Structure 1
Amino acid sequence: MHAFLVRVRESFWFLPALLGLVAVVAAQLLVTLDRDVLAGQVPAVPFLDALSAGGGRSILTTIGTAMLTVAGTSFSITISVLATTSSTYGPRLVRNFMADRANQLVLAAFTSTFLYAMVVLRTVHTAVDDGDPFVPVVAIHVAVLLAVVDVGVLVFFIHHIASSTQITSLQRQVQEDLRVAVEHAYGDGDDDRRTVGRVADPEAGRGVVRAASDGYVQSVEWRGLVSWASRTDSVVDVVAMPGRYVIAGDVLATVHAATGSTDHVVDARAARTVRSSVLLGPARTPVQDVDFALQQLVEIAVRGLASGTNDPYTAVSALDLATSVLVPLWRDGHPVTGLLDTAGRVRVLQHWPDPRALVRGLFTTIAQYDAGHPLVEAAADRLAERLEAVAPPHRRDVVTQVRQHARGSGS
């Protein structure tokens, strides 16, 4: 279920399919209402003009054809624009377009209106057709209303695409992904998800759960693992954290049995449960992958400094947006090492990257490309100063050392 929900969120088919089904059902219900009105079982709806069969068919045909044409043309042009944008600022940004709920709803609105019009169209009959003339007046007027709404949806879509393909909007989306990933992975020291010390008896038995296929670990259904471990009185140590590439046979997790057990074998059912909680995919995503979320923002900065682009202001903006997330993390963030059940017992162990590794990777990458760009160097220095100003005692000298090392490796 976890894998299904994650894939649905980034798919272009689910919402159109769902609203399409709703449109088909609504069309059938309204046609039934029209039949009841014609039979005198339901009072006629006021203010609705009578329509001939030919007029009703023309309206429905026009609406259906127009909606499908608009949907195809709009998204073809949009994908073309997106391809150009992604080639400049990174192909991995296409995922943001796919996961954009507004884009999914717009496509769903157009396709569901088309399906609605087609279902209603098949019910229009004349006396010549079968001797039982029928024109669903209410359903046809609802189709007209949907067409009017879709005009507004089209205007919104044009505005949304023009706005979302701007580099500032793309950077904001990536920054939000980074912020969510950081909040998921790091506590503030008082977070009840964070544990220290030994959480599993090294003498206790443990079993190993291995990957059944290849791919990147995209996300883990943590709460499901906690619930399962609590029911079985186990501790699950997730070895393959989000962002790691595994092949079939690699260890995904180890399952520690209750203290006192000397031998523990993970049965097939338990292995399937743990394995189904770990979503594998062909590419990394920023959903729970902190390092990749930050890498996306850095990639935008690096591509802005490429000779073909030569846009240092994009790199400066990317560093400024990274500052908004990294400064609070550097001041208060601690990697969450364990998740607790309702009884307060540690059930799932996690291994998130150390914040120092994130900062080191950012400065090292930027230093390789910012030479000859004083604006970018100044932005990197501002980030370093802010991190140093809020650093706790154990991180006070880290930024200076990392920055000096990055300068040396970038020269």
Structure 2
Amino acid sequence: MKPALTRTRQASGRIVDGIRGVTPAWVQTWWDDLKDSLWLLSSVCTLLCAGLALALVKLDTGLDADNPVMRSPFLFGGGADGARSVLSSIAASIVTVTGTIFSIVIVALQLASGQFTPRVMRHFTGDRINQAVLAVMIGTFTYCLLVLRTVRTADDRGGVFVPAVSVSVGIVLALVCIGGLILFIHHSAKQLQVSFIIQRAAEDTHRLVNDTFPVKEDGDPVPREFPLPKGEPTVVRARSSGYLQDIDLDHLKGIARDRNLTVHLPHTYGDHVLTGMVLARVWRHGDPIYDQDLQDIHDNMIIGVQRTLLHDVTFGVRQIADIAVKALSPGINDPTTATQGIDTLNDLLVRAGTRGTPDRVITVDGRPAILCEPVTFDLLVHVAFTQIRHYGAADAVVMAHLLDGMRRVAELVPEHKRAILYVHGRLALATALGATELDEVRATLHEVGAWTQSVETPPQSARIDPDALISV
């Protein structure tokens, strides 16, 4: 490896010329984690309700009894004791209900983790209805406390003060909380249904499929291949272990252009890297490579403790496959859920297979600047079917459904993408036949899987790539 020289350059966080306005990768990853948390919206709503309480109390201090607003039938008309009773009742009730809501959320997370897959828990914490209901509850509690402290009786210092407008708004917020509670109960019952969970996972994965696989053009040309530059590269090594959550290709393109670099990225989204592993190989044409160049490249590759749905389309497929695999476990024994997961995977594969093939070369000013390892249709097929085939081998209904689903996908995707489906179809048929000795069942499986023998698989596609098996 060539040693990198040291010199002072601009800070690594600065956006280089030509890519101004592009959000850095760490900001995108940070925001993705933040918006899926339960505390963000609750904190914002608490601050807004606190500000609303202070503003309305200030308004109440400027209103006297002769003001027409005070004679409105919609305003609270009780005395100080009544105001305190109303506000304290609302606050106490909200605390109880909020505790109940948190308990329901925790139970939902436990059920989803145990019965489906731990990887769908993010859908519950990131659900906007859950976040909004909790935020309104906590905000209303904060509002009532701040207004309650301003209510005064004749015995208190400063004389009688009943913030009628503030108390009336508190009652309105309490009614909103009741509506939110009804919505939350309905939504919680709905989001624990397996159909809803699979649908949520599928919607996220549909978005990633559209982002990852380009719109198909005429002929769907084979991805360009460029040889790596000659000479030994300088390598960028991972400084921590974890999953590759994001690669900021926009910033890397700017760095490659402005500094005349060629960068090879041997890993893609969702790959697990260990400390010291090679994250990138870098060549510079004619000039030495500096420490700051390596630092900037490293800073635009985000490593985290878990996979995310920011760019990782294989993780989206993995979630749905995990639900199907979990349904096939002896403790769950729910083959209907497994077949529903297979149907969803088939839909995703058709969407990916009928789109274009991702290009592994990113050019800058007409030259290859970044060489990537893109996600392929074959890899999605591996992730979707490998473990389902293994764990569902003993269930003839699931295996027949799996074989028929592969056949339908093969009919809809372009011919040059069908080879991997024939490979998995033959493996699924052989696995299913090996798990049963009943002649009637074997005959049915042979009939359903007959399509796997109808086309001779090209030699280069007649096996599963070991790297793909590891990626599963």
CA contact (8 A) 2:268 2:375 kept: no
| 1:131 Cα deviation from its structure 2 partner | 2.6
Q: For 1:268-308, what per-residue CA distance to the aligned partner results, in whole angstroms no more than 9, with x for missing partners?
A: xx555444443332222333222222121111111212222
Which amino acid in 2 is paired with 1:316? T
Quick check: 1:313 aligned with 2:336? yes
Q: Structure 1 residue 128: deviation in Å?
A: 2.1
Contact 2:317-2:383 within 8 A present in 1 as well? no
Say whether residues 1:329 and 2:362 are aligned partners. no
The residue that corresponds to 2:462 in the other structure is none
Distance 1:340 1:130, change over 3 A: farther
Aligned to 1:167: 194
* Structure 2 residue identity aligned to 1:106: V
- Unaligned runs of 5+ residues in structure 1 are none
Distance 1:204 1:116 in 2: 67
**Contact residue 225 and residue 361 of structure 2 kept, 8 A:** no
CA distance in 2 between counterparts of 1:127 and 1:205 reads 86
Contact between 2:45 and 2:135, CA under 8 Å: does it hold in 1? yes
Q: Does 1:153 align with 2:180?
A: yes
Query: Structure 1 264/275 Cα, relative in aligned 2: closer, same or farther at 3 Å?
Result: closer
Q: Aligned residue pairs: how many?
A: 404
What's the offset of the Cα at 1:220?
3.4
Partner of 1:137: 164
What secondary structure is seen at the aligned counterpart in 2 of 1:129? coil
Partner in structure 2 of residue 106 of structure 1: 133
- Residue 350 (structure 1) aligned with residue 372 (structure 2): yes
Please give the residue correspondences for 1:169-184 in structure 2 after superposition, counting only pairs within 5 Å: 169-184=196-211
Per the alignment, do residues 253 and 13 of structure 1 end up closer, same or farther by CA in structure 2, a change over 3 Å counting? farther
The answer on whether the counterparts of 1:364 and 1:409 sit within 8 Å (CA) in structure 2 is: no
| Residue of structure 2 aligned with 1:287, choices 289, 299, 310 | 310
Residues of 1 paired with 2:366 and 2:404: CA distance?
Answer: 41
Residue pair 2:377, 2:417 contacting (<8 A) in 1 also: no
Q: 2:32 maps to what in 1? A: 6
**Deviations for 1:340-362, whole angstroms, at most 9, x for unmatched residues?**
78x88866543223211221343
Q: Deviations over 1:360-402 (max 9, x none)?
A: 3433322212234232122212221122213323223332122
Partner of 1:408: 430
Q: What residue identity is the alignment partner of 2:288?
A: D
**1:138 shift after superposition:** 0.8
Unaligned runs of 5+ in 2: 1-26, 435-472
2:286 paired residue among 261, 276, 298: 261
Deviation at 1:87, TM superposition (A): 0.7
Partner SS state of residue 155, structure 2: helix
C-alpha contact (below 8 Å) 1:89/1:304 kept by paired residues: yes
More moved, 331-340 vs 140-149: 331-340
The separation in 2 between residues aligned to 1:104 and 1:74, in whole angstroms, is: 11
In 2, distance between residues paired with 1:226 and 1:210? 19
DSSP-derived class of the 1:264 partner: coil
Distance 1:264 1:224, change over 3 A: closer
Distance in 2, Cα, partners of 1:60 & 1:76: 24
Q: TM-score, normalised by structure 2?
A: 0.77
* Compared CA separation, residues 363 and 3, structure 1 to 2 (3 A): closer
2:52 to 6, 19, 26: 26
Tell which structure's C-alpha radius of gyration is larger.
2
Report what 1:301 is aligned to: 324
